[in-house]
Chain A
Amino acid sequence: MAVTVRIPTPLRKFTDDQAEVQADGANVGEVLSFVGEKHPGLAERIFDGKGKVRRFVNLFANDEDVRFLDNLDTELQDGDELSIVPAIAGGR
């Protein structure tokens, strides 16, 4: 299953400056593991030491915040989009 993962600017240094990467996985957790293995450095930015998504990281499955869905268990279909967005914008 191919899902498009949208990467925010501060994390593109781990994806060779690509704004989007393709990943396999049936749910959000699987897709993130896939991109984490493929792009070293990414997983540590998204997850804390205990394997939980950091508090300031928002994940959107097709524009829906996964916190209001099934979090990492949120199912994804072929062609779906997963966006990794910091809760804030930086600068003032």
Chain B
Amino acid sequence: MRRPQQPNPTEVFSSTRVRSAVELIGNTPLVRLRSITRDLPPKVEVYAKLEYFNPGGSVKDRAAWQMVRDAIADGRLTDDKTLIDSTSGNTGVAYAMIGAALGLSVSLVMPENVSQARKDIARAYGTHIIFSDPMESSDGAIRLVRQLVAEDKASGANRYFYPNQYANPGNPKAHYLTTAPEIWEQTGGRVTHFVTGLGTSGTIMGTGRRLKAYNPDIQVIGAQPTDSFHGLEGWKHMESSIQPQIFHPGELDDMLYIDTDDGWDMTERLAREEGIFVGHSGGGSLVAALEVASQLEEGVVVTLFPDHADRYTN
């Protein structure tokens, strides 16, 4: 019998008091995965950043907050405007949460087939939802929001602020300024590999760029679904999609292709074996991270779990 590992009872946790929900964005915990990695060499460590600790429940709080802050700072976003963007969920929830906290009006375009839970969450924050064709995936939502923004501009109304997370430098910048320094500090500068899935690619571009500034030897590895028809929510099959302008594949050291079923199976294992229940994108990222880790003799591999499974259960 293996004795269950006990948390260290002498460790001191500090509590936090803040002035606004947005101040809780970032500073998420990094957790070592010990059970699921038991077959790896002892000098190979695998860690995951638990992004569901953000107040909006996902990694997207970081990018949304940076884009909103930048826009308020340079006058693109004023309180007479409505923030509008296309999103299949997490970014929308982030905009909705931040909008509510700051008193800003938010409209979201999303494909009709996003989970009911996501729609309910966005609406709870007082967000207006516009549905796009479920048969056209996220690209359909992008096309519709562009059309709405163009019509708004053409009419002279100019009532929208469109952050466009696929092209907004604030998206990777958020990770450059927060995610990467957190990982660097939480691993005591020992991180050797950063592996995560691609959606807008903001997480990997920004985090990767900063980690390489700390230490150019750090390997930054992206993951994509094997096919454009897949079930890893939040991920994008780049070759067959509208390419995000912030995506610069040349900055990545490698790209892995993950099968939906493997990602789903890993998600279930994570819950059962580590007590960490995340969305399928997290399971997919871990498949990729373990693929990288299994080829090492020694190393500190960090991945990131974008959100919690609660978001997908009705």
- Which of the 9-residue segments B33-41, B68-76, B231-239, B293-301 touches chain A? B231-239
- Contact in complex: B88, A10 (CB < 8 Å): no
- Asked whether any CB of chain B lies closer than 8 Å to the CB of A83, the reply is yes
- Contact in complex: B113, A87 (CB < 8 Å): yes
Contact with A along B86-116 (1 / 0, CB 8 A): 1111110000000000000000001101100
**Interface size class for chain B?**
35 or more
Q: Report the minimal beta-carbon distance from B138 to chain A, rounded to whole angstroms.
A: 3
- Which of the 9-residue segments B6-14, B15-23, B129-137 touches chain A? B129-137
**Interface size class for chain A?**
20 to 34
Q: Report the minimal beta-carbon distance from A90 to chain B, rounded to whole angstroms.
A: 5
- Contact in complex: B227, A90 (CB < 8 Å): no
Specify which of B165, B228, B264 lies most central, judged by the most chain A CB atoms within 10 Å of its CB: B228
- Beyond A19-B135, A88-B231, whether A56 also contacts B88 by CB under 8 A is no
Contacts of B227 in A (CB 8 A): 10, 45
Show 18 residue pairs from A and B whose CB-CB distance is below 8 angstroms, ordered by the A residue. A8-B136, A9-B137, A9-B139, A54-B260, A85-B113, A86-B137, A86-B230, A86-B231, A89-B138, A89-B141, A90-B233, A91-B141, A91-B166, A91-B200, A92-B91, A92-B199, A92-B234, A92-B306
Interface residues of A (CB under 8 A from B): 6-11, 13, 19, 45, 48, 54-58, 83, 85-92
